[in-house]
Amino acid sequence: MKDVTRLFVVLLTFLMGRAGGMEPDSGYCIGNQCFTVYQAHHDYMSAQNQCGDDRGHLMTVRSTVARDVLSILLGNSVGRFWIGLHRTSGCPDDATPLKGFQWVTKDTESDYTNWAPGFDSSCFSHRCVSVSKVDDFKWSQEPCDEQAAGFLCEHTFTQMCKSLDAEVGETVTYTTPLRFAGEDLLSLPPGSTAIRVPGETKYVCVEKQWLQAPWNCEIFEGGCEYKCAEDSNHAPSCYCPAGQTVNPANKVTCEVIPDDPCVSLRCAHACVQKGVSYECFCDHGFQLAQDGRSCVDFNDCTDKRLCPGENFMCLNTVGGFECVCKGGFRLIDGKCVDVDECVSAPCEHICENSPGSYTCSCYDGYKEDPESPNNCKLHCGKTECVAECDPNDRYQCFCPDGYVSEEREHETVCIDIDECSSNYCDQDCKNTFGSYVCSCSPGYTLVNQDKCEKIDDDSDGDGGSGATTTSTTPYDTPPVPNPGPTRKPSAVTVGAFVGIIVCTVFFVVLVVFLVHHLLCSRGKMESAAALKVTEEEAHGLHNVKSDT
């Protein structure tokens, strides 16, 4: 009994993570491998990820046997299908059988090649490979981001079962944990089920052997047609709804009975015969209540045999349980493997992965941003630091909050700003590196970080002793005691110097324009005066002639 329990614990662990997902259009198993085909439009990477979700990878066609499997799976298919051959980097190499390509298993071992004519050897050629029935499954180079008609996956197993021998007039139908079924499968992975027809006996594959139903209730409901439960001896058995009974031959299907002795018991879940009488019992994950009819949930996770393996944890559910990975771990090939969060670059600077988590840190000259712990901000921590400058433009420089840049002969530095000289505080001010601290005199309290308000005598619990209240500015830099006087920039920056030159030129041009305008106006006035005198003289001469 212990050996059987161990087998089912192993099988349950194996089946975790295989539930759900896309359902393949067909599949085939031979040796220790199963192959599935999906007729769904995917690019190369999403196809590989889909295979990985089922703990497999894109199909490798290393032999003529694998070539024959292609013919079986794609015999009635139209379009191109991705296989697990690609070129990750570099240029093609005609001197090798795989021409510089490799399998998704990161190796180049192959006893078979089938390249399409006209292979493109340029370094800019397509990096992924697909096959199609139209060109006899030749390996064709394709753009990896192209949407192929489908893809093929490959799954490798251990402890597979051989197909069952069928008696005359009998057929055996198999269903695999990869979600495809068939009658002509030569080998079956663990977790596969088989049904003999017409007897309807059921079997499950566990470590190279077929076990007949009912088996452990946690695996496919024990193979029962209706429901599975454990009796008082923890032995699995099938039961049927009211008015039906379990077939005594196959022990899993239900048959209608004329007189049901369980009707009067009004059992919440199940009724079984015990000797000459009948009694109620409950589904797996429940226990019989004191009234002998009702069923209540109990915590399955109290059984320490459940969810074995490192970094697994048991999660109790109503009537059952789930085996899940602890936080920071992911189920891969039946194991909870640490997720390297650093791959997704969550940290702005340095990321250090740890089991189930990760830690961010910053480069020298930076510190963790308190508002966003994964990001970093410039930090000096003293009166003067070298600025962080663009390597391609030394005039494009940055300083931490509370610092101002100063350009010098060979570098730009950041100098602490003495905010206290700008009277930011209502009363007392203490300068700190990159910030400042406001405080109030005795009898006052600090409000909004920089204002001081008088404390009412009635509300001052200590009789107006005047304990000083302080608060830092929005720079969020902790106060540093006695930072010493802050030196101000000693030279005019390049920007200021350019501004002075521009203003000077503008002023000179304006003066020249005004002088020119005044001179022109004066000249016009003198010309007008001279013309008037001339006209008057001419008029006088005319009068003299008239008198004569």
> How many whole angstroms separate alpha carbon 188 and alpha carbon 174?
8
* 319, pLDDT greater than 70: yes
How would you label 220-242 residue by residue, b for 16+ Cβ within 10 Å and e otherwise?
bbbbbbebbbbeeeeebbbbbee
* 482, pLDDT greater than 60: no
- 198-201 contacts: CB < 8 A, separation 24 or more? 198/170, 199/170, 199/249, 199/250, 200/247, 200/250, 200/252, 200/253, 201/249, 201/250, 201/252
The rounded mean pLDDT for the chain is 81
C-alpha distances (whole Å) from 204 to each of 13, 212, 414 are 15, 7, 73
Best CA proximity match to 303, nearest among 3, 105, 9, 7: 9
Looking at the DSSP bridge assignments, the partners of residue 37 are 26, 152
Planar angle of CA 179, 175, 188, nearest 5 degrees: 100
Best CA proximity match to 471, nearest among 416, 432, 422: 432
* 529, pLDDT greater than 90: no
Percent of the chain predicted with pLDDT > 70: 82
Between 163 and 480, name the one with better pLDDT: 163
268: amino acid identity, one letter: A
Looking at the DSSP bridge assignments, the partners of residue 128 are 86, 142
* 483, pLDDT greater than 50: no
Neighbours of 344 (CB within 10 A): 10
Name the band, by pLDDT with cuts 50, 70 and 90, for residue 101. very high
What pLDDT does residue 84 have?
A: 96
> How many whole angstroms separate alpha carbon 133 and alpha carbon 467?
88
Looking at the DSSP bridge assignments, the partners of residue 154 are 35, 57
Name the band, by pLDDT with cuts 50, 70 and 90, for residue 476. very low
User: Which of 314-323, 400-409, 484-493 bottoms out in mean pLDDT, i.e. has the lowest?
Assistant: 484-493
| DSSP state letters, 319-337 | TEEEEEEPTTEEEETTEEE
* 48, pLDDT greater than 90: yes
How would you label 301-338 residue by residue, b for 16+ Cβ within 10 Å and e otherwise?
beeeebbeeebbebebeeeebebbbeebbebeeeebeb
Catalogue all structural domains in the chain, each as residue range(s) with its CATH number: 22-156 (3.10.100.10), 211-293 (2.10.25.10), 299-332 (no CATH), 341-378 (2.10.25.10), 384-416 (no CATH), 419-454 (2.10.25.10)
Per residue in 339-371, pLDDT tens?
Answer: 888 877 788 888 888 888 888 999 888 888 888
> Within 13 Å of residue 460, how many CA atoms lie on the same side as its CB?
16
> Dmax over Cα atoms in the chain, in whole Å?
173
What pLDDT does residue 524 have?
A: 58
Percent of the chain predicted with pLDDT > 90: 34
What pLDDT does residue 523 have?
A: 58
What pLDDT does residue 465 have?
A: 42
> How many whole angstroms separate alpha carbon 526 and alpha carbon 482?
74
User: Taking residues 485-511, what's their average pLDDT?
Assistant: 58
What pLDDT does residue 536 have?
A: 53
250: amino acid identity, one letter: N
* 512, pLDDT greater than 80: no
Backbone angles phi, psi at 32, to 5 degrees: -110, 25
What pLDDT does residue 35 have?
A: 95
Q: Which two tokens stand for residue 443?
A: 């009898």
**Would you give the DSSP letter of residue 9?**
H
User: Which of 47-51, 113-117, 245-249, 523-527 bottoms out in mean pLDDT, i.e. has the lowest?
Assistant: 523-527
What pLDDT does residue 343 have?
A: 77
* 541, pLDDT greater than 50: no
* 488, pLDDT greater than 50: no
Burial class (CB in 10 A: 0-12, 13-18, 19+), 101: buried
Decide: helix, strand or coil at residue 162.
strand
What pLDDT does residue 3 have?
A: 47
What pLDDT does residue 227 have?
A: 87
* 498, pLDDT greater than 70: no
Most confident of 259-273, 364-378, 472-486, 504-518: 364-378
Per residue in 267-315, pLDDT tens?
Answer: 888 787 777 888 888 877 788 888 888 998 888 888 888 888 888 999 9
Name the band, by pLDDT with cuts 50, 70 and 90, for residue 10. very low
Name the band, by pLDDT with cuts 50, 70 and 90, for residue 526. low
What pLDDT does residue 225 have?
A: 92
* 4, pLDDT greater than 70: no
Between 103 and 394, name the one with better pLDDT: 103
Per residue in 405-463, pLDDT tens?
Answer: 888 888 889 998 988 988 889 889 999 888 889 999 998 999 888 899 988 865 444 44
Per residue in 120-161, pLDDT tens?
Answer: 999 999 999 999 999 999 999 999 999 999 999 999 998 899
Element (H, E) at 535: helix 494-547
* 232, pLDDT greater than 80: no
Best CA proximity match to 80, nearest among 182, 149, 179: 149
> How many whole angstroms separate alpha carbon 531 and alpha carbon 204?
127
* 192, pLDDT greater than 70: yes
* 204, pLDDT greater than 90: yes
Sign of torsion, CA 487 490 494 497? positive
What pLDDT does residue 306 have?
A: 83
Between 350 and 505, name the one with better pLDDT: 350
Q: Which two tokens stand for residue 227?
A: 């429901």
Query: What ranges in 345-397 are assigned the alpha helix state H?
Result: none
User: Which of 198-202, 317-321, 398-402, 475-479 bottoms out in mean pLDDT, i.e. has the lowest?
Assistant: 475-479
325: amino acid identity, one letter: C
> How many whole angstroms separate alpha carbon 39 and alpha carbon 74?
10
Between 350 and 535, name the one with better pLDDT: 350
* 163, pLDDT greater than 60: yes
User: Taking residues 90-98, what's their average pLDDT?
Assistant: 91
Per residue in 373-394, pLDDT tens?
Answer: 889 989 888 888 988 888 888 7
What pLDDT does residue 185 have?
A: 87
What pLDDT does residue 287 have?
A: 84
> How many whole angstroms separate alpha carbon 311 and alpha carbon 226?
34
What pLDDT does residue 248 have?
A: 87
Planar angle of CA 518, 520, 525, nearest 5 degrees: 95
* 477, pLDDT greater than 50: no
pTM above 0.75, yes or no: no
